Amino acid sequence: MEKFDVIVIGAGVVGAMIARTLSRYELNVAVIEKESDVCMGTTAANTAIIHAGYDPLPGTLKAELNVRGNKLWDQLAFELGIPFKRTGDYVVAIDSNEFNKLEELYNRGKLNGVIGLEILGRDEVLSRLPYINKDVGGAMFASTGGIIDPFQAALAPMENAVVNGVKLFLETSFEDFIFDGKRIVGIKTNKGDFLCSWVINAAGLYADTVMHKANLHPEFKITPRKGEYYIFDRNEFAISEVLFPVPTEISKGIMVTTTVHGNTIIGPNSHEVPDKEDTSNTVEGLDEVFKGASKLVPQIANSMKHVIAIFAGLRATGNARTPNPNIDYHHDFLIEVNKDIGLVNVAGIESPGLASSPAIAERVIELLKDSGLKLKEKKDFNPIRSPRPRFKDMSNEERAKLVSKNPSYGRIICRCEYVTEGEILDEIHAPVPARTYDAIKRRTWLGTGRCQGAFDTPRVVEILSKELGISPLEVTKKGDDSYFLLRKTKEV
């Protein structure tokens, strides 16, 4: 049985960043992920913001790693071909009471080491943001804030890690640890046992379950906090800025923002839910999002006819207080090493986890090094992941040249987003292959336009069936039993 130096549990953005960083070294590394694709948990459904770092409390890991992570994204986006824009962001105070809180955020940001902060008066805000609520009292602008494609932020480092030797095991669920005395020597999964010297727990919403299997932190609990969203047709309603309300103690508030693909998105609200798989939308929740966003941008009230999709995501919120009065996790990231048993826990990674993820990976490597793991850099490590052709973004001359080399790029499968057959084939045969409809959707943006897949779905099912060598009846939307087709028509 193959033995790994390190096994990473979880293939969200944190697990992917850790895997990519480990792939720089002469190590045998595996990543296990319970879903059919990478980035199907918290990373897949969020606001896609690279936070500047003014919101976390000074002195916390959230503050330190947010600011450090923010600085790392420019180089990462360049190396890995990740869509990323430093748009800056605004924290908008609607009245004088909220305006007084901006100074607190400004000072907090300065203590955290955030650069590019400025407080704007009412007239300046109205000049920059003519669509904003006319009762606005002012705003704080953070020039280092940005937006990113959150799926590519996880897929790209994972692909780069695989190219550099990391082994990825999908649909592989952690069940328990294998111990030799007090030391972890492997893990049990639904696909069999894996032997290893170290385990990194980056299991997102289930990170508490994993650490409890090692008899660590029984008082630590992750409670899912649901956030709901609307997405608008970018051709009908578009806000090009990133707008936050003044934050509360539990949330950064209901935003109005843009995506790297040009769609306006509003949300999220924030409510605890008991079920770690509950990504359903609710009438009450969506109404709350609508009202909150309309408070910032009143014209949203007349633009709901341009909504093309709704969705919800879950944040992995760790607890603060515990039954033990001497233990308080302060809702901070929990990142620690237990050298004796060979486990690194990376837990409670809620917002600003996406922004912080590159710095979290750095911190994990430091912990492993300090614990005695030998880290010898590879001479042949390749940090570059070249982006694949995107027909929609090409000039007509570039398109003609591409089609002349490969006619499959001339066959449009998704008319709304101009996704071609060639692009779909690229993703099916990529280092981390797309094997479901949603996997292709996340990679190419297929099916995200006004028709929401009504035109492309049958064609994608046909392509997946052919390329994977399976029956169309076996093609799924997102793995497991999410089949599109029940039986052949003539069998009815």
User: Tokens 């057959």 belong to which residue?
Assistant: 421
Contacts of 352 by beta carbon, 8 Å cutoff, 6+ apart:
49, 51, 53, 55, 56, 62, 66, 69
The whole-angstrom separation of Cα 56 and Cα 370 is: 27
Distance between CA 377 and CA 110 in Å, rounded? 36
Query: Could you tell me which residues come within 8 angstroms of residue 148 by beta carbon, excluding any fewer than 6 positions away?
Result: 48, 49, 50, 73, 77, 82, 83, 84, 85, 260, 354
Active site residue 429: no
Max distance between CA atoms of the chain, in angstroms, equals 69
Distance of CA 67 to the CA centre of its chain: 18
Cα distance between residue 296 and residue 404, in whole Å: 49
Q: Within 10 Å of residue 24's Cβ, how many Cβ atoms?
A: 16
Task: Measure the CA–CA gap between 168 and 162, rounded to whole angstroms.
Answer: 7
Other Cβ atoms within 10 Å of 323 Cβ, number:
7
CA atoms within 13 A on the CB side of 410: 10
DSSP string, 230-258: EEE-TTT----S-EEE---SS----EEEE
Q: Identify the active-site residue in 51, 217, 306, 331.
A: 51
- H/E element, 429: none
Q: CB neighbours of 192 closer than 8 A, spacing ≥ 6? A: none
- Give catalytic residues, as residue numbers: 51
